[in-house]
Each structure stands twice: as C-alpha cells, then as structure tokens.
Amino acid sequence: MKRLVFLDESVRLIFHAVLVGSIYLLFVGHNQPGGGFVAGLVAGAAMSLRYLVGGLAEVRRISRFQPWTIMALGVAISTSTALAPLSRGHSIMASMSTSFDLPLLGHIYASTTLPFDIGVYMVVVGLVFMVFEAFGEDPDAEADEVPEADEEGATR
C-alpha cells in the first residue's frame, strides 16, 4: 500500500494532540461537558486517522492488547467502581470523593466518577479497535491474494 508523505506527517502531528484532547475531556467530565464516552469517541477519531494513513496494520500498532481485553478491562473497572459504594451502605454508582493537597500539584479533588469514566473510555476505545478489526481489512490487499474478492474491490 502506498503511503502519502503529507498525510503521514500531518497525522503524526495531530494524533497525539487529539489523544491529549480526549484525555482532557475524560478528566473534566465530572463537572463540565465531557466524560468517558465522549473522550473515548474522540480517541476513536484519532485511531481512525491512523487507519486512514496505514490501514489496519497501522491501527494494530497502536496497542498490543486485543480489543476485547481492553473492553473487558473497561467493563470490569466500571462495574467494580459502581459496586464499591454498596459496601459503604450507599446506593450503587453513588459518587464518593475526597480532596487532598500534594506538593507541586496543589489541591487534588478525586472522586469515584473518574475510574468509572476511565472504564467507559476503555470500552469505547476497545469497541473502536474491534470495529477496525472486524471491518477494516483492506479489500484491495485481499484482492491481490484471493481472486474471488475481485468483485468487491471493483465496486469499491
């Protein structure tokens, strides 16, 4: 597959910026518009940029983990966070928070909403990987190897 230098370089520039943006959205989600789902979608958009550049192989280079491992880990984190307040006699998914001071970083406010959102984020990102795994195979590449796939390649 031919790669376009211009596209390649601009995606290299943008990719990490978009990821940082998605992590920003993940963290502000507690009190401002954002949160795990939106942040995951933005990260997914970054993944699709990589897909535009180099196809499925490029997407696979982003993570060493299988998509379902990421998703399952996300679900596990979110459900455990949701269950945690029950042990303290609160309702499920009740938000528990604490704040403390750290040197250099200053005042830190941490709540259980964050791990829940991280779990959601991982589910969405895992889903994006899974979509690319399922539908992202390059039909042209297949057409070179398998003669039957010619028709599909032509319609595309």
Partner 1 sequence: MNQLIPLPIVLPLLAAALASLFGRWKVVQRIISVAVLTATSAISILLLVRVDRDGPLVMHAGDWRAPIGITLVVDRLSAIMLTVASLMLLAVLVYAIGQPGAERHHVGFQPVYMILAAGVAGSFLTGDLFNLFVSFEMMLTASYVLLTLGGRKDQVRAGMTYVVISLLASTLFITALALLYSATGTVNMADLAAKIGQLPLGLRQAFAVLLVVVFGVKAALFPLFSWLPDSYPVAPGPVTAVFAGLLTKVGVYALIRSQTLLFPEGSRPVTLLLITAGLTMAFGIIGAIAQDDVKRILSFNIVSHIGYMVFGLALFSVGGLAAAIFYAVHHIIAMTTLFLVDGLIEHAGGSSRMRELGNMVRSAPVVALLFLVPALGLAGIPPFSGFVPKLGLIQSGFAAVGGQGHRALVIGVVAVSLVVSLLTLFSVIKIWIGVFWSPAFETPSGAAHTVGRLGGPPLMVIPTATLFVLGLTVALTAGPLYRLCERAASDLLNPHAYITTVLGR
Give whichever of 14 and 130 is closer to partner 1, judged by the CB atom.
Answer: 130
Q: Which of 48, 63, 79, 111 binds partner 1 (CB under 8 A)?
A: 79
Residues 9-68 that bind partner 1 (CB under 8 A): 68
* Per CB under 8 A, 131 contacts partner 1: no
Using an 8 Å Cβ cutoff, are 70 and 122 in contact?
yes
Q: Which of 3, 16, 61, 90 binds partner 1 (CB under 8 A)?
A: 90
Helix, strand, coil distribution of the chain in percent, nearest 5: 70, 10, 20
Residue with tokens 């994006």: 128
Q: Which of 23, 49, 72, 130 binds partner 1 (CB under 8 A)?
A: 72
Give whichever of 51 and 129 is closer to partner 1, judged by the CB atom.
Answer: 129
Comparing C-alpha atoms, which of 75, 20, 73 is closest to residue 46?
Answer: 20
Q: How far is CA 58 from the centre of its chain?
A: 15
* Per CB under 8 A, 91 contacts partner 1: yes
Q: Which of 6, 32, 33, 89 binds partner 1 (CB under 8 A)?
A: 89
Comparing C-alpha atoms, which of 126, 117, 10, 27 is closest to residue 68?
Answer: 126
Alpha carbons 70 and 62: distance in angstroms, whole number = 13
Q: How many residues bind partner 1 (CB under 8 A)?
A: 20
Residue 148 carries which DSSP code?
G
Alpha carbons 88 and 77: distance in angstroms, whole number = 18
* Per CB under 8 A, 93 contacts partner 1: yes
* Per CB under 8 A, 97 contacts partner 1: no
* Per CB under 8 A, 110 contacts partner 1: no
Residues that bind partner 1 (CB under 8 A): 68-69, 71-76, 79-80, 82-83, 86, 89-95
